[in-house]
Amino acid sequence: MTGSVRDNVARVRERIGRAAARSGRRPEEVRLVAVTKTVPLERILEAREAGLAVFGENYVQEAEPKVRALPDAEWHFIGSLQRNKAGRAVELFSWIQTVDSPRLLAEIARRAARAGKVVPVLVEVNVGGETSKGGVDPAELPGILSAASGLPGVRVRGLMAIPPFADDPEESRSHFARLRELLASLRGGAAEMSELSMGMSNDFEVAIEEGATMIRVGTALFGIRP
């Protein structure tokens, strides 16, 4: 993918708009998280200038200089988080999207409480049942949520998933629908549990049609990663 970041942002926004219109939603209901792993700072600044304000990073160390350079942006952690990095993650990121165990949740909460923060988090669900992927089994969700309710440093705001990779975005649809149904079955009227982070460059339109409130887009904005 060539093209300037500015052009790419415009194209992605158009795609978001069309997918939202198809499903009777407003484009403002979908937060575009620009995924910046391996992307150099000057390209991220171009995205910022094109109006993007929410960024996602997979590695704490790689993120640090980028977060420092754009402190007023909203940074989401979207990688696999080791417990010994939870403190740094709490310092750097506004959201942590990839909680995948009660122990990680408790450590984030402990670090957040120490920093006087309440960190919004998502629980990552392994919707495809893939052994190679992170995320909790759906059966573990009620336990994690009840543990979270006793931890003042975290607020579980919803669910996140990375379905099995497929060339045809339609193959992701049933996984996205499953995540939406899981959220509906768990939230029990809790309005703050409303976020669905799902959809990447090749399938975010389908995710929007299935109710995504956050899409995580890298390649379509910044080009193919090295």
The smaller minimum CB distance to ligand PLP, of residues 175 and 216, is found at 216
The smaller minimum CB distance to ligand PLP, of residues 38 and 146, is found at 38
The distance of closest approach from Cβ of residue 146 to ligand PLP in the complex, given in angstroms and rounded to an integer, is 26
In a 3-state reduction of DSSP, which class is residue 210?
coil
Asked if residues 55 and 80 have their Cβ atoms less than 8 Å apart, the reply is: no
Residue nearest to ligand PLP (CB): 218
Task: Count Cα atoms within 13 angstroms, Cβ side, for 184.
Answer: 9
Token reading at 133: 């992927």
The distance of closest approach from Cβ of residue 113 to ligand PLP in the complex, given in angstroms and rounded to an integer, is 26
The distance of closest approach from Cβ of residue 24 to ligand PLP in the complex, given in angstroms and rounded to an integer, is 25
Binding footprint of ligand PLP on the chain (CB under 6 A)? 35, 37, 58, 78, 162, 200-201, 216-220
The distance of closest approach from Cβ of residue 41 to ligand PLP in the complex, given in angstroms and rounded to an integer, is 17
The smaller minimum CB distance to ligand PLP, of residues 151 and 209, is found at 209
- Which residue intervals of 115-189 are DSSP H helices? 141-148, 173-187
The smaller minimum CB distance to ligand PLP, of residues 16 and 220, is found at 220
The distance of closest approach from Cβ of residue 187 to ligand PLP in the complex, given in angstroms and rounded to an integer, is 23
The smaller minimum CB distance to ligand PLP, of residues 151 and 205, is found at 205
What is the C-alpha to C-alpha distance for residues 197 and 185, in angstroms, rounded to an integer? 16
For the chain, list the strands marked E by DSSP.
31-35, 54-57, 74-77, 95-99, 119-124, 154-160, 195-197, 214-217
